[in-house]
Structure 1
Amino acid sequence: MTMGDETPVTTLILPVLIRPILSELEKQDVSASQTLRSALTKAEASHPGLTYDLVIGILRKGDLTVNMNESILRLQGAVSDSDEYRLNRSEDAFQELNRKSAALKRILSRIPDEITDRKTFLETIKEIASAIKKLLDAVNAVNGFIPGTAGKQSLEQRKREFVKYSKRFSNTLKEYFKEGHANSVFVSALYLIHQTNMIITTVKSKCE
């Protein structure tokens, strides 16, 4: 796996794998959970990819082979979004963007289970295309709330990035049906999830 391929999975290890574990730990020991959460969040911010290296290190020690792209994609469907990737504004446009973001990520997380069944997978691809369009409509609706030209331009730039990765996902699917490399589809889906998270983060930074 090249460094470029690692990018989406490294950014998603913390929110998708580690934070839900810490939330479970919180039921037993709140302060230990919060201390760990804070330490890992700071460490990841200073050294992006550190959490990924930690998890991979543990797997190697245990002599376990796991397709991390497939596993994180599956897990995305089982976790609800953390506050980091959820908008707090109560207006309909913001809540709609929350819903459309969560819906797209949920559909993408089904890919590992459905990719081997061509008929089901083709239906899922249609659902993904529809969810992408609805997400973009929701982004457009929120844009009107963003103060200042610079803020609007930031969101437009983020939207363009999302569209670029949507097209890349579409191309990856075409290649998959020719060559059958499922891992490329998993990676491309993780990029889309990451881009969806980045849209939410951008809106949060400009509006909250």
Structure 2
Amino acid sequence: MTMGEREPTSSLVLPVILRPIFTQLERRDVGAAQSLRSAILKSEQNNPGFCYDLVASIVRRADLNVNLNEAVLRLQGNITEADRDAVNEYRLTRTEEPFQELNRKSVGLKVILSRIPDEINDRKTFLETIKEIASAIKKLLDVVNEIGSFIPGVTGKQAVEQRKKEFVKYSKKFSTTLKEYFKEGQPNAVFISALFLIRQTNQIMLTVKSKCE
């Protein structure tokens, strides 16, 4: 896997694969879960990409034929309210309706994107899903624009605006990748582009959270 392919997947392994595992382990053994979580988080902070390397190594040792881009994209749709750490990291706590609506729109977009691996080979279904994705992107951007009035200070507004621009850039790249897919039939490129969109959605949530909470 090239660095460009690995980049979005690497940043999503921790929230999508490992944090839900920590949550499940916590129900059985709180102490062990906290120790493991602390050790892995520290390793990831000191060596970005550690979590990806860990999971990729396990997959190789188990001799599994797994496309990690596809797997992470699928698993994004399986994150539930029960996976508190994975969910709350990108969830806004402010109670005003625009913030709660942004929570809903960000989760909604990621869930639709997570359906791509199951639907990409059914052209009719996939075309309908693409329409859903386009609509979800527009609705998310509309809510981000609405939240702009709640953000204090010029610096905070500029930071959110920059995240929005980056999100739009990756949305356009996603659209271009889809056109290329229908010509060349390379699903992995679509998976990677969808993961970039998920990462940018998370970045919007983290930025809004840091500037408003």
Structure 1 CA distance for aligned equivalents of residues 35 and 155 of structure 2? 36
Residue-pair matches, total: 208
CA-CA distance at 1:82 after TM superposition: 2.1
* Match runs of 1:163-182 below 5 Å: 163-182=168-187
For 1:6, the equivalent position in structure 2 comes to: 6
For 1:27, the equivalent position in structure 2 comes to: 27
Unaligned stretches of 5+ in structure 1? none
* Match runs of 1:113-132 below 5 Å: 113-132=118-137
CA-CA distance at 1:117 after TM superposition: 0.2
Residues 119-162 of structure 1 show CA distances to partners (whole Å, capped at 9, x for unaligned) of 00000000000000000011111111111001100000000000
For 2:64, the equivalent position in structure 1 comes to: 64
Is structure 2 residue 165 aligned with structure 1 residue 160? Answer: yes
Aligned match for 1:87, one of 92, 103, 118: 92
Structure 1 CA distance for aligned equivalents of residues 62 and 125 of structure 2? 35
TM-score normalised by the chain length of structure 2:
0.95
Structure 2 CA distance for aligned equivalents of residues 90 and 48 of structure 1? 33
Structure 1 CA distance for aligned equivalents of residues 20 and 207 of structure 2? 23
Structure 2 CA distance for aligned equivalents of residues 89 and 158 of structure 1? 20
Is structure 2 residue 165 aligned with structure 1 residue 194? Answer: no
Q: Percent identity?
A: 67
**Counterpart of 1:142 in structure 2: which amino acid?**
I
**Counterpart of 2:7 in structure 1: which amino acid?**
T
Residues 48-83 of structure 1 show CA distances to partners (whole Å, capped at 9, x for unaligned) of 110000111111112222100000000000003521
For 1:145, the equivalent position in structure 2 comes to: 150
Aligned match for 1:205, one of 191, 203, 210: 210
**Counterpart of 2:165 in structure 1: which amino acid?**
R
**Counterpart of 2:195 in structure 1: which amino acid?**
L
**Counterpart of 1:115 in structure 2: which amino acid?**
I
Unaligned stretches of 5+ in structure 2? 81-85
CA-CA distance at 1:39 after TM superposition: 2.0
For 2:75, the equivalent position in structure 1 comes to: 75
**Counterpart of 2:137 in structure 1: which amino acid?**
I
Deviating more after overlay: 138-147 vs 56-65 = 56-65
Structure 2 CA distance for aligned equivalents of residues 99 and 87 of structure 1? 10
TM-score normalised by the chain length of structure 1:
0.98
Structure 1 CA distance for aligned equivalents of residues 181 and 157 of structure 2? 36
> Cα RMSD over matched residues?
0.9
